[in-house]
Copies of this chain bind each other. A is one copy, B any other.
């Protein structure tokens, strides 16, 4: 069953999906498809007009998936090499994440991030892993601005202070919570940023004993929180 994405509450596919359905998959009138709205609803539908510019469908049944009893939000600085952050988005969506918030740290090398391509990757990963929720991707803002938007009650910042050894995220987090985890840029967080986060109620945690790249650390945080709730 081919799965498409239509968040608009309308009964036709986007231009990209219409072309894909009609030209590539050669689907025709009466063929069955599945359409998710990215908000938990997955429709079973049949094609009513096989138009490569606007393929219309009729919904025969709708299956609604409840939200997860916990939510994972990762705040991460875009990597210098965009492939790495694109990879993180794909994998985080596959394993399960609710929100990704990008920020520029004092030590960030990259200052520009276009969300359009990342959203396409997130949609493809949602379809591929047969999920009905599309995670929210937030435009990159400064570290301080991003902190202001965090309302999750379980707040963590992944950092390895020179002197002490912080708690392991899997032990610091408790199941069923709303989580926000901050992961720094290649150049790590500045001391000022760490202090600002700690003042904001973020607990310093580690993600394991190895030194991880930014995108690996971000995915590992996401995996740990999924495991804590598995």
Q: Are B95 and A213 in contact (CB under 8 A)?
A: no
- Contacts A95-B220, A130-B210, A170-B227 known; 14 new A-B pairs at CB < 8 A: A91-B216, A94-B210, A94-B212, A94-B213, A94-B216, A95-B208, A96-B208, A129-B210, A129-B211, A131-B210, A220-B223, A223-B223, A223-B224, A227-B227
Q: CB-nearest residue of chain B relative to A210?
A: B129
Q: Which 5 A-B pairs have the closest CB atoms?
A: A129-B210, A223-B223, A94-B216, A129-B211, A130-B211
A211 — which chain B residues lie within 8 A by C-beta? 128-130
* Binary CB contact string for chain A from 121 to 153 against chain B (1 if under 8 A, 0 otherwise): 000000011110000000000000000000000
* Binary CB contact string for chain A from 189 to 225 against chain B (1 if under 8 A, 0 otherwise): 0000000000000000000111111001001100110
A-B contact pairs, 22 of them (CB 8 A): A87-B87, A91-B216, A91-B219, A94-B210, A94-B212, A95-B216, A96-B209, A96-B210, A128-B211, A128-B213, A129-B211, A130-B210, A130-B211, A131-B210, A170-B227, A170-B230, A208-B226, A208-B230, A220-B223, A223-B223, A224-B227, A227-B227
A118 to chain B, nearest CB (A): 17
A184 to chain B, nearest CB (A): 16
Q: CB-nearest residue of chain B relative to A212?
A: B94
A213 — which chain B residues lie within 8 A by C-beta? 94, 128
In the bound complex, how far is the Cα of B168 from the Cα of A227, in angstroms? Answer: 10
In the bound complex, how far is the Cα of B227 from the Cα of A224, in angstroms? Answer: 8
A158 to chain B, nearest CB (A): 14
In the bound complex, how far is the Cα of B208 from the Cα of A224, in angstroms? Answer: 12
In the bound complex, how far is the Cα of B92 from the Cα of A212, in angstroms? Answer: 11
Q: CB-nearest residue of chain B relative to A128?
A: B213
In the bound complex, how far is the Cα of B216 from the Cα of A226, in angstroms? Answer: 14
A219 — which chain B residues lie within 8 A by C-beta? 91
Q: CB-nearest residue of chain B relative to A94?
A: B216
In the bound complex, how far is the Cα of B96 from the Cα of A170, in angstroms? Answer: 17
In the bound complex, how far is the Cα of B219 from the Cα of A51, in angstroms? Answer: 40
Q: Are B210 and A95 in contact (CB under 8 A)?
A: yes
